[in-house]
Structure 1
Amino acid sequence: MYDERFSGLRRRGFLTATTGAAALALVGCGGTENTADQSGGDGTPRRGGRLRAAFAGGGASETLDPHLANLFADVARAKALFDKLADYGADLSAQPRLATKWEPNKALDRWQVTLREATFHDGKPVTAKDVLYSYRRIADPEKAFRAKASLEPIDLDASRATGERSIEFVLKRPTAEFPNVLAAFGAYIVPENAGENASDFDQKPIGSGPFRFVSFSPGRSAVFRRHDAYWEGAPHLDELEFVVANEESARVNALLGGQVEYAHELNPTTARAHEGKGQIEIVRLRGSAMQAFCMKTDRAPFDDKRVREAFFLIADRQELVDGALSGAGVVGNDLFGKGYEYYAADLPQREQDLDRAKALLKQAGAEKLKVTLDTSAVAAGFTEAAGIFRDQAAKAGVTIDVRMGSKDSYWADILDGGTLACYRSGAMPIEAHISQRLLTDSTTNATHWKHKDFDALYQQAQSTRDKTERAAVYERMQRRLYAEGGFLIWGFADWILGTARKVKGVETKAPANTLDWARFDKVWLA
């Protein structure tokens, strides 16, 4: 699975539950009554109780190994048990976690990282040796750990502990955005030598996160208990249980029936049906998913930048948001990361202009252009977006043939195949989006955008110590993508959650896959 999607959207698991009763059967241990006064009427957090959270799962192959976290359920469990050195804030900037600070040398190729005083669940301190062990485990060439590519800038053979809680990371090249590496998806810190035995993670995982392990039944449930010595303060909840319910209807019915208090990944239709009705609360995480069409810039007809610009102008973005996302989102402007750090917000919002689109197509000799648009039911809204854009293109004299692809192989198929495809992405820093998708040697460069001068700008940004100057370089890069890039980014979708009314403290401004998404140590039961 590669990174143009949210973690977990390639496969939805093998177990299914389609009714509230079926969802309840998956819960395992029943919920406990609150152990403290939890009226919570004044908004003050109350301590006690068990929260049950329903996620789509991965069947019997599920694991608590944080370096193998792939699905949303995996990540939510991992962040309850483990910590990273840093994590992404709501604007996708790196925020300190186990690391209290990071300082580069003048060349930006050596970074000194200082750890906070934190302990693992067994009482042992988190040390520099644990960090280096964790990163070397992730980088093992014999393994397929998700964070391996993100750690590539680090020369782990040369990096060393300079004290019990200090590390000098030696990098292969200047990297101004090195904190993004520390916050990388899946870069969790585990105790030295953890994972050497097959049972280490699924039978007795030890982390430094806010909850401690109690039990785990792959494909069914996991139960964790409050870690009272957590460095950021003990969670309000006594216990947290993750329940597997693969179908959205199962999660919703379990929530409505009181078998769970938190349901992850709801669709806009469900949200509209229940929002403001009082039975459950609907939480919308704004701007969580980029929605786009991906044009291959190295082959006809999209090797002509005039054709790409024409397609930018064909799109009626509001119609796409309203139709494909049922209004649960905002329009895009052909740039990734709306609202994120470094986003070029000053560029004018692109509007549909069919006359200009027709003129550009005529200049390019493509007045009666016919093109195939690949789509799939692999992601919500894809097939709807394809149909809407097909109709919009017809108004500019373009004939689009919509081709349905396999859910199992869609992402691999569109990486190098076809010319035009539906595409989406979860939250990541703009720097990571550029490095993973838009450089000549990027492994997930689905638009085949390959320009040495663009690569040079990225290296310039990474070599620029001053943040204001670095932001100016990123803006130059985005202006070029806005003018002639291969991503027609038409919208940013909300990520939708449902909770019982008694659940308080759920962060509403954190895109999926950021620090405060699925963060249950700050949640309480009122």
Structure 2
Amino acid sequence: MTHFPELSRRGFLAITAGLSAAGLVGCSTPSATTAAPKAGGRLRAAFAGGGAKEVLDPHLANLFVEAARSKAMFDKLADLGADVSAQPRLAEKWEPNGDLTRWRITLRQAVFHDGKPVRAQDVLASYARILDPKRAFRAKSSLSLIDLANSKAIDDRTVEFALKRPFVEFPNALAAFGTYIVPEGTEDFTKPVGSGPFSFVSFEPGKSVLLKKNAQYWEGAPHLDELQFVIANEESARTNALLGGQVEYAHDLTPTTARAHGASDRMTIVRSPNSAVQAFAMKLDRAPFNNPDLREAMFLLADRPQLVESTLAGSGQIGNDLFGKGSQYYAGDIPQRTRDLDKAKHLIRKAGAEGMTIKLDTSTAAAGMVEAATIFADQVKGSGLTIEVVTGNKDTYWADTLKNGSMSSFRSGAMPIETHIAQRLLSTSGTNVTKWTRPEFDALYQKAVSTADEKARGAVYAEMQRSLHAEGGYLMWGFADWIVGTARNVSGVATAPANTLDWARFDKVWLG
């Protein structure tokens, strides 16, 4: 991820100075939340963001502000629901053939901001742009199973995708990050045209994007007249701007801020549970964690409630060493692991690891990772092991820990369990940090994604998760809430996990 110089609070206030009266709706003394939606007004949303080189190309979206702006202006064929399963959006429905190698998508009747209809040709052109081998779009890996040469438009509202292999989870690909539909032939995004709930008005790179209501939106016009994204990279700047009435929405606040201002009459705290998993990753292909007894000992040494309380200030839930708590197919019936020092000490002796010092690589690349590593190192004391916390370069951390070391801090946002497995746990996965390589596990994945019956497919995912829980390398100790703050007169902000359909979804928000 590219890093840009941050704006100070003074710089942020300079951006918001001089806004029109329309932009100041509800910004003085907050009023009580209204029971029914009200139309009108401008909502100003503060995000950390890019710099002067940022663009509005939705296929280049990477930062949270870019994702939020893209979903305001554009649509995908599908998006992820609250349980992180794919839900139809521009696709009215989808239907596979018998062997799951061809999928027919029916588009709903929607129009772009210039009044032209969204057609099957626009879908194919958008995916062809993403899959262009000369480009480096993030969504390319998600769409790579499409055989584009043999895919076709049946008519203006029907597209048929040919796949390279049977894949029952194809809707997950349609919902993947960055898979937005743009008009055929679009390359200039200085004044972007999408089909989303808001249309473009103006853009100052690194500072502000102003959008207006799309009255022709297929799901109904937004309540707001205008939506403005403003950049404030420092969390304190976003918080103070909200408290001072310069914005009505502040994205990505810390648990400490939420705890300090939760009872404030100038701020409402909105939490999105299960938005980010917090973990330690152990590599199975090298000492010392090629020994399953030592891995089990590490699982039993973790005091998960203490990690959640201390690192997340209570803004989260304990984990059970499995990804996707609360998501579709999550194996919630597996008993919760708890700390057991005596059993851990026995397993450490059995592994011949008593007296060993283990390096735990961590970084400030994600909030709370260094703190969690330090707390875990303290929890391990008295077990016969010593954890040495090593803080690395935040700019190269993820690439470094993918290859090097034996144990590292890990964090991930929400995604379907199938996507997590495909990206991180197959022998061929490009980001397999734990080096979990099991041919029988790979075979189970192929069985799951080629099983049409949902109940039978769920049973296969459950078997895979039992294997990971017993022998895997992820010590997933907690699931963090995503936290935003709003002015007291803002309603309709959803509590869906970050990166899902209803996260940062401003067409359903209104000012009281």
- Indicate whether the TM-score tops 0.5: yes
User: What's the offset of the Cα at 1:13?
Assistant: 3.0
Question: What SS does structure 2 have at the residue aligned with 1:176?
Answer: coil
User: What's the offset of the Cα at 1:34?
Assistant: 7.7
Contact 2:318/2:478 (<8 A) preserved: yes
Q: 2: CA distance between counterparts of 1:127 and 1:29?
A: 41
Contact 1:32/1:49 (<8 A) preserved: no
Q: 1: CA distance between counterparts of 2:232 and 2:114?
A: 31
Q: 1: CA distance between counterparts of 2:100 and 2:251?
A: 40
1:151 matched to 2:143: yes
2:213 matched residue in structure 1 = 226
Deviations 1:50-91 (A, max 9, x none): 000000011012110000000001001000000000000010
Distance 1:285 1:143, change over 3 A: same
1:272 matched to 2:259: yes
Contact 2:41/2:226 (<8 A) preserved: yes
Of residues 229, 235, 240, the one that matches 1:253 is 240
Q: 2: CA distance between counterparts of 1:41 and 1:299?
A: 56
1:201 matched residue in structure 2 = 189
The one-letter code of the counterpart of 2:282 is M
1:13 matched to 2:4: yes
1:480 matched residue in structure 2 = 467
Question: What SS does structure 2 have at the residue aligned with 1:179?
Answer: helix
Q: 2: CA distance between counterparts of 1:263 and 1:13?
A: 19
1:43 matched to 2:32: no
Question: What SS does structure 1 have at the residue aligned with 2:148?
Answer: coil
Q: 2: CA distance between counterparts of 1:469 and 1:362?
A: 41
Q: 2: CA distance between counterparts of 1:236 and 1:492?
A: 32
User: What's the offset of the Cα at 1:192?
Assistant: 0.1
Gap runs ≥5 in structure 1: 1-9
Deviations 1:387-429 (A, max 9, x none): 1111111221111111010111111110111100000000100
1:119 matched residue in structure 2 = 111
Contact 1:54/1:262 (<8 A) preserved: yes
2:16 matched residue in structure 1 = 27
Question: What SS does structure 2 have at the residue aligned with 1:149?
Answer: helix
Contact 1:32/1:50 (<8 A) preserved: no
Question: What SS does structure 1 have at the residue aligned with 2:238?
Answer: helix
The one-letter code of the counterpart of 1:512 is A
Q: 2: CA distance between counterparts of 1:211 and 1:246?
A: 24
Contact 1:101/1:114 (<8 A) preserved: yes
The one-letter code of the counterpart of 2:159 is I
Of residues 418, 441, 451, the one that matches 2:438 is 451
How many residues matched?
509
Question: What SS does structure 2 have at the residue aligned with 1:205?
Answer: coil
Distance 1:31 1:394, change over 3 A: farther
Of residues 178, 181, 187, the one that matches 1:189 is 181
Q: 2: CA distance between counterparts of 1:29 and 1:208?
A: 30
Deviations 1:452-502 (A, max 9, x none): 110000000011010000000000000000001010000000111010011
2:349 matched residue in structure 1 = 362
Question: What SS does structure 2 have at the residue aligned with 1:124?
Answer: coil
Of residues 78, 85, 99, the one that matches 1:107 is 99
Contact 1:12/1:246 (<8 A) preserved: no
1:506 matched residue in structure 2 = 493
1:3 matched residue in structure 2 = none
Q: 1: CA distance between counterparts of 2:4 and 2:339?
A: 39
1:393 matched to 2:380: yes
2:330 matched residue in structure 1 = 343
Q: 1: CA distance between counterparts of 2:498 and 2:3?
A: 17
1:520 matched residue in structure 2 = 506
User: What's the offset of the Cα at 1:14?
Assistant: 1.9
Q: 2: CA distance between counterparts of 1:160 and 1:407?
A: 44
Q: Percent identity?
A: 62
Q: 2: CA distance between counterparts of 1:304 and 1:455?
A: 21
Contact 1:110/1:169 (<8 A) preserved: yes
Of residues 44, 50, 53, the one that matches 2:45 is 53
User: What's the offset of the Cα at 1:384?
Assistant: 0.8
1:62 matched to 2:62: no
1:78 matched to 2:70: yes
Question: What SS does structure 2 have at the residue aligned with 1:22?
Answer: helix
User: What's the offset of the Cα at 1:304?
Assistant: 1.0
The one-letter code of the counterpart of 2:44 is R
The one-letter code of the counterpart of 1:453 is E
2:127 matched residue in structure 1 = 135
Deviations 1:30-62 (A, max 9, x none): 154389999886411111110000000110121
User: What's the offset of the Cα at 1:253?
Assistant: 0.8
**TM-score, normalised by the number of residues in structure 2:** 0.97
User: What's the offset of the Cα at 1:11?
Assistant: 5.0
User: What's the offset of the Cα at 1:22?
Assistant: 3.2
Q: 2: CA distance between counterparts of 1:282 and 1:101?
A: 36
1:7 matched residue in structure 2 = none
Q: 1: CA distance between counterparts of 2:21 and 2:209?
A: 15
2:319 matched residue in structure 1 = 332
Contact 2:281/2:434 (<8 A) preserved: yes
**TM-score, normalised by the number of residues in structure 1:** 0.95
Q: 2: CA distance between counterparts of 1:109 and 1:306?
A: 42
The one-letter code of the counterpart of 1:504 is S
User: What's the offset of the Cα at 1:344?
Assistant: 0.0
Distance 1:139 1:28, change over 3 A: farther
